[in-house]
Structure 1
Amino acid sequence: MMIQALIVDDEPLHIQGLVRHVGWERLGYAPPLTAESGEEALELLGDMDVDVLITDVSMPGMTGIELLAKCRADYPKLQSLHTLMISGFDEFEFVQEAIHLGAKAYVLKPIRTEEIEEKLAAFRAAIEKREQIERETRALQDKLTGSLDVLQDRFVNDLIEGRSEDAELMDSWRRLLDLPGEVRHLRLFLFAYDRQERGAPADARRRILLADGLWKAVKIGLSGWEGTYVGKTGASETAVVHLNAKPLDRAGMEKQLQFMQEIIREQYDASVTIGVSRDGDGWEDVPPLYKEAKHMLAKARLGGGGRILYFDRAEAEEYREYLLKEEEVPEMIRLLERGEDDQARVMFDLAFERLLAREPVSFSYVQAFGMGIISELAKIGSGKEDGADNANILVWQRLIDCTGAGEVREAVLDYMARFSRSIKREDAAPQHNLIRRIADYIAAHLQDAMTVKQLAEQFHLNASYLSVLFKKETGRTISDYVQDARMTRAKELLRDPNVKIYEVAAQVGFQTAAYFTYLFKKGRGPDAPGISRLCQIIEQKVIAC
């Protein structure tokens, strides 16, 4: 199949130069279509099947940036369009904006033919890969695509579930999959869908399609690398175990990750976050690598999805604290809330004994351990009883004055007993006032980039607790609330005829005017009451800029 390109430039000589000097047929392209304005290009894009768009940034009327933004906003079939931007040195900031909108590449003037051909060849490779995945997607009706795939799926799940300790089972897997005799090192890649659209109806067929689609995309995208084993680990997850990888293979696989995210986004309108584990030394390392990657992905989603994450030393430190802060302490709190104080005490004693069993362990670390538990309890219990702040100060001082691990243990247990009493008291008013103060803070900082973690730190709260409390109080997640607040403020600003579109975008926290325009029209479309006129104002302001 020949690939179809469209060249857009207001200078006919520039168009003819590209038509004549680029080896279109040699690169697998049909003779290119041409247009001398953004408006003419949109007509062609609406009528013809175009795979690659080559456009100048600076054109009268509709610029290349505006053309690309309109393609993304108004033409669903052009979401997979590969775009090459052409610009001068003094237009580089506009190129950055184009890349933000989805442009795949750019070249600077004066244009070199070999550079254009290099970009076109890369586009062709990506398009062919996408078509291969699309062909596989259309074949999802086949329940079994081969016995090897089924074996790999079960093998990966056995590893994650810790069954590598069964010597007889592992011997059978070695024979079935011809596994290497020695595992020098391994890594685990975890691909997981981010949350689906709000309000989307539950659909078993779509869940199956998404699960199979992710698995197939990963299988095809990572095909060709020796020592890779792919398995579905859930309805929205696929894991890959990569054995004894050479440095070039490691780099090559990592380059494919973003490509696979784009394929899933285009095929299923779904966002995927990818976690890359630390190195492991043997089969027994797979379960902890999987748990660490799961933790890393869950934490990342609080700040938005669609990312590629690597488990480094800082992540390892956070994960060690995670088991206490995000699993054991919340479980202790749940036990205390249910009145099961004895079980909460047993759980704490087990965690404390595990700490003391480490070799070596310093007393200062034991103190820090106790302070960490009390800090998390204090964040959640803050404001539940009169004099809580004074009591917290006293317990801090008590911990500082401790001279032995036994004293630290007793101080924490005493605080847990007080916490048990206070946590059960119903006091909805302070929570309501807290959320109101947080909402006021968001309204005053719309121009800033805010994450849930930063917001929690601002109000001295646990990030997970803040997310749950905010959703319970407002009925919306923090990210949805921030987006709605930004759009509401934008509508107010846009009614001023003197304000510029880029000024509105900056004041409500968007980096580029084009991206703000695109989101405004998409999320608050012209069919909404009172918005049609605002959309016309936006278009007039963009043209004026």
Structure 2
Amino acid sequence: MFKAIIVDDEPSHREGIARHVNWKGLGFDVPLQAESGEEAINLIKENEIDVVIADICMPSMNGLEMIHRINSIRQNLDIIIISGYDEFEYARAAMEEGARAYLLKPVKVEEIEKWLKKFRDEIIHRQQTIDDDMKLKKSLNVSIDLARKSFLESIIVSYDSHKEYSEQILNTLGLPTHDFDCLLGVITTYDCDKQLYNDSNFQDRIISRLEDYIKKDAFFDERYILIAPTWINEIIVLGYDFQRYTKSELTQYFKNLCKVIQEEYGVSASVALNLARTDWRGVNDLYKQTALYMYNHKNEGTSQVFLIEDERTLNDKQESIDFAKEMSNAIAVQDVDGLVNLTNIFFCRDKKVPFVSIKAIVCSIVNEILKALNNMDKYDNAQCMNVWQDILITDNTVELRRKLLKLIFTFNESINEKNKNKKHYTIDRALEYLNADLSRDVTVQDLALYLNINPSYLSVLFKKEVGLTITEYVTKKRIDKAKEYLRSSTKKVNDIASMVGYQTPAYFIYQFKKLVGCTPAEFRERRL
């Protein structure tokens, strides 16, 4: 059975969710309850909780603060935030802190059950994957640790640039199957000739100590670290999924590691760290680059940690920043074609930018587009929150590109609708102005000045929306007005001509016959 906790300072709210949700049918125990963030955190420490359902508004510690605290003590918890705030910024903040769902009050039981079912299925799938992986590993004739070490040695020492590494092998070893963010460290030990001469297993003991150090230290997750020797005084450390570490944290960690080697084995060591995005076929080149860097800096003293960042990676990151600026400018001027072109170029280029960096840039662009859509009243806050949540859970570039393009197309639709409405408003004002006094002689320039738009654009827009030129429209309205006078009054034709804006009766009669097919006098006689 799975376990959940409901956190809300209102007892009736907690009891309502606890009573009405079909916990047993969804595979959950009766949920725990907490009336504050502090109480919830204590219960989460003491129990194996799978799902947290929390109100965003609580005294002392609100829901967002509670999520932040929970993430520091327990990973992989599925969190549902319940809120009375429909502002997009609240939803975005909740998603950034790690909430999986943001539900607005009053909450429907069906919504909560839908998410609980989703979380349950995902947990079952994860556990099944772990169980299958454990069974596979137990069936191997050699330990996974030795197999992983052998794999790294084969890439560095006996490298074959044409070799393809199957997904099955990589999955079995628990290694990435595609491009990954790589941390490659070359550890060089100095003044160890005597130890190596007296103890042929000296390097193996250092490697064993490094592995033990990493396993017991909470800084790294040992599953993401491979260690193997290359030469008698050189050891390779390869890590992946290191994005959560800052450069200063990595530098300090390896300084401490060098200190351990110095204190326990009496030899000094330095480390060159290379950060780059690559695949397994690119690791050998990364190693050569790092080893060469270490060789060129070997005279700069021992116990040093050199942090390398591939110049191409730096250039790629700068290009990504430039891309974000161009996208932002395109959004500001509503250049949708430019947005689409920039997006396709960004995702189709052959660059080694870490996925986390790509996602961060896309998130910033999505945020700007959502703000624009919100301002246009195309998306309300709840819709913005749903889009933002969908982007945050995306874990690959293909889906990220598809979702960004979909949002851009929605942005385009909104712009078109806005422009259409804006055009109608402009024409409505133009018609109102013309109809207010048909006796006036109004030129295109006069009307454009009144509307504060370009005369040529006004002419094209007016013809497109009304179906007549401005002159044709005024003439038609004048003749229609004249027809009314001819039907309902005994006024002279000359007077009617003046009343509808014609200075000479002859021109009025000419225009009338041209549109109606007869003279004003004939029209009156026939009472058309």
Q: TM-score, normalised by structure 1?
A: 0.32
Q: TM-score, normalised by structure 2?
A: 0.33
